[in-house]
Structure 1
Amino acid sequence: MKKSAHSLLLLLFALLTAGTEAPASSIPETLNYQLTWTGVKIGTSTLATVTTGDGIEITSKVRSETWSAPFYKVDDLETSKLDRDGKGYALHSYKMKLREGKNDWYRAASVNRKSKRFEFVDLKSFEKSSTKLVEPAWDPVSCMFYLRQLPLTVGKEVEVNVLDKGKLNRIKVSVLRRETVHTPAGSFKTIVVAPNMDIESQGLFYARGPLTIWLTDDARKVPVMIEKRIKDLFRDGIPPYLQQFTPESVRNNIPRMETIKAVLVGGSY
């Protein structure tokens, strides 16, 4: 696969704003996902949230299937820590270690509210950088935690701050519609949102291109399904090792060929 698709996964996008009050019933929480491409299982992902003293810690893990290791292995870990801030929470720090195919990224970030800076460090080269802290803002993992606290209205847009790769990104998120979806974890009435992911980042679900998320249409707003399309993913043709998994009818369906899906299969929520 080409570099623009440098991840068989990585759950969730970057969407953020201010500290938020979380329902006590949602913590601790574990969400387990199955990742598929053209209907073929390519990996698993887990998003877990636990309390840590006065704050919370959110961990995202992604693993590819064993069969994919010879040509594209994925082993990703991201951790976000939030501090209690009044009735809600505020970002404290973020660390990521992504191993995807021949690529790997290892970096950390933290909030320095005294100097009003968001500080980054590459944990391979130890190169440091920082950007102005424009609050409210979150990292690519805690953003989903925040999104689930927002009141969402169909037809409305939300503009959010995304801090990633040493810079501030502003993303518009459209609330599209209500829809019932069926997953291995059950059938859910959902509200569908689509963030504009025109940003520079790492990981498939953070890359440029259409991203759609189905959240349960209730107070919990559990993410039950995520779809990411990467346009021109196979611009140079489908690699021979993938053709065995894709019937001709599927190969002729370009939107489907360019789409990765994460579907809820279980957990505690």
Structure 2
Amino acid sequence: MKKPAYTLLLLLLILFTAGTDALASSIQETLNYQLTWAGVKIGTSTLATTSVGNTLEITSKVKSEPWSAPFYKVDDLETSKLERGGKGFSLHSYKMKLREGRNDWYRAASVNRKSRKFDFVNLKSFEKSSASLVEPAWDPVSSLFYLRQVPLTVGKNVEVNVLDKGKLNRVKVSVLRRETVQTPAGTFRTIVISPNMDIESEGLFYARGPLTIWLTDDARKVPVIIEKRINDLFREGIPAYLQQFTPETVRSNIPKMETIRAVLVGGNY
């Protein structure tokens, strides 16, 4: 991977989310995060979940810091819509518009339960495709809320179907440990999970490498810290323009150089 480090903040958006077919309930929630790399603030993200009638909508936004614009400007928006059916919610549709440096991706997906298909469309080329519906299934925004609703037991794995780039991916999530952490939003007892995001995707949401999420160890399971490491990010060396932002002690710590962190700083939850 050769993208500037500022793009790494995009990887963190998988953390956020919406309901499960069996367990979800209406939620009004706003989560605000600060994104940092090597201790430097590189962006912010906001997750807002609203409920109107039988529809649950989750909006995810991420923006890079103004100072990073000459290197790599980021302005992303994702929207996931769920519909109530039976005891909970299930996926209705998903739309994403990502602008990352010189790249942009604009696509949508919807569920057709009559034909038991996922329908996809590239909103730039208008190319269409479809895939078989396997439920319960979630888009990149709504997938974590599923995890926030199911019981998590340390040492046991959970699996979730994630819909992305025209196909369905089976993602294994390891439940690692319990840990108390401090954030600007407070001190939290958490349960730590690690999704195996070794899947194909456009943009940088699912870059290969460890992803770790700290959820509050309570019924809400609010994501309070998310860390993403991109292995071999700087295998060809650290670009000169990044070296000026990082001291030698950081440059010599490759795991730290390859890791982005999102930390909860406030909101309503």
TM-score (norm 2): 0.95
Task: Provide the rounded CA distance (Å) in 2 between the counterparts of 1:261 and 1:213.
Answer: 10
Question: Where in structure 1 are there 5+ consecutive unaligned residues?
Answer: none
1:177-236 Cα offsets, whole Å, 9 max, x none, are: 000111000110000000111001134442221100000000000000000000111111
Match for residue 226 of structure 2?
226
Match for residue 172 of structure 1?
172
- Residue 58 of structure 1 aligns with an amino acid whose one-letter code is I
Q: Please give the secondary structure, in 2, of the residue aligned with 1:173.
A: strand
Question: Per-residue deviation at 1:261?
Answer: 0.6
Question: Per-residue deviation at 1:3?
Answer: 4.6
Residues matched between the structures, number:
267
Instruction: Please report the RMSD computed on the Cα atoms of aligned residues, expressed in angstroms.
Output: 1.9
Q: Please give the secondary structure, in 2, of the residue aligned with 1:206.
A: coil
Task: Provide the rounded CA distance (Å) in 1 between the counterparts of 2:50 and 2:16.
Answer: 20
Residues 106 and 93 of structure 1, relative CA distance in 2, 3 Å threshold: same
Task: Provide the rounded CA distance (Å) in 2 between the counterparts of 1:145 and 1:16.
Answer: 4
Match for residue 200 of structure 1?
200
CA contact (8 A) 1:17 1:160 kept: no
Structure 1 segment 108-257 matched on structure 2, within 5 A: 108-257=108-257
Match for residue 105 of structure 1?
105
Match for residue 48 of structure 1?
48
Task: Provide the rounded CA distance (Å) in 2 between the counterparts of 1:132 and 1:87.
Answer: 24
Residues 266 and 16 of structure 1, relative CA distance in 2, 3 Å threshold: closer
Question: Where in structure 2 are there 5+ consecutive unaligned residues?
Answer: none
- Residue 9 of structure 2 aligns with an amino acid whose one-letter code is L
Relative CO higher for 1 or 2, CA cutoff 8 Å, sep ≥ 6? 1
Task: Provide the rounded CA distance (Å) in 2 between the counterparts of 1:157 and 1:15.
Answer: 19
Residues 3 and 176 of structure 1, relative CA distance in 2, 3 Å threshold: same
Q: Please give the secondary structure, in 2, of the residue aligned with 1:148.
A: helix
Question: Per-residue deviation at 1:162?
Answer: 1.2
CA contact (8 A) 1:136 1:161 kept: yes
Task: Provide the rounded CA distance (Å) in 2 between the counterparts of 1:183 and 1:209.
Answer: 24
Task: Provide the rounded CA distance (Å) in 2 between the counterparts of 1:4 and 1:67.
Answer: 14
Match for residue 22 of structure 1?
24
Task: Provide the rounded CA distance (Å) in 2 between the counterparts of 1:229 and 1:202.
Answer: 18
